[in-house]
């Protein structure tokens, strides 16, 4: 039947194939990784830590804008209320109004 040499030969062939396919797999992996890195570089993607930093800055800006909008709204309401309420006139305000409205001849 099959001799001892057959199994030794088959074993050597298997070991050689494993070595060839192993190195081939490593080469394919390296090529794919290189091509993928090249493509990603062309996309000009940002790193995660840079993205997170900008995300925090944007959130802080949103909060600040919201606070400023609320402050502006309060100030506008105060201005409207002040313009509706009659001003209290005192002697000094009446004197200023009189001098500003009178003309010197």
Question: Where are the domains positioned within the chain?
Answer: 11-44, 46-85
Maximal C-alpha separation, the chain:
140
Q: In terms of pLDDT, which residue wins out, 43 or 105?
A: 43
> Using CA atoms, how far apart are residues 7 and 51, in angstroms rounded to an integer?
59
- pLDDT tens digits for range 12-65: 887 777 777 778 888 888 999 999 989 888 998 889 999 999 999 999 999 999
3-state secondary structure of 83: helix
What are the angstrom distances between the C-alpha of 99 and each of 45, 55, 63, 92? Answer: 70, 59, 49, 11
> Using CA atoms, how far apart are residues 65 and 71, in angstroms rounded to an integer?
10
Q: What's the pTM value of the predicted model, to 2 decimals?
A: 0.43
């Amino acid at each position: 039947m099959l001799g001892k040499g057959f199994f030794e030969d088959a074993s050597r062939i298997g070991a050689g194939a494993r070595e060839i396919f192993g190195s081939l797999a490593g080469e394919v992996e390296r090529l794919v990784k290189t091509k993928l890195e090249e493509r990603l570089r062309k996309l000009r993607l940002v790193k995660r830590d840079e993205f997170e930093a900008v995300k925090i800055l944007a959130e802080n800006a949103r909060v600040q804008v919201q606070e400023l909008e609320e402050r502006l709204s309060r100030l506008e309401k105060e201005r409207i209320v002040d313009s509706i309420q009659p001003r209290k006139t005192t002697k000094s305000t009446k004197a200023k109004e009189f001098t500003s409205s009178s003309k010197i001849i």
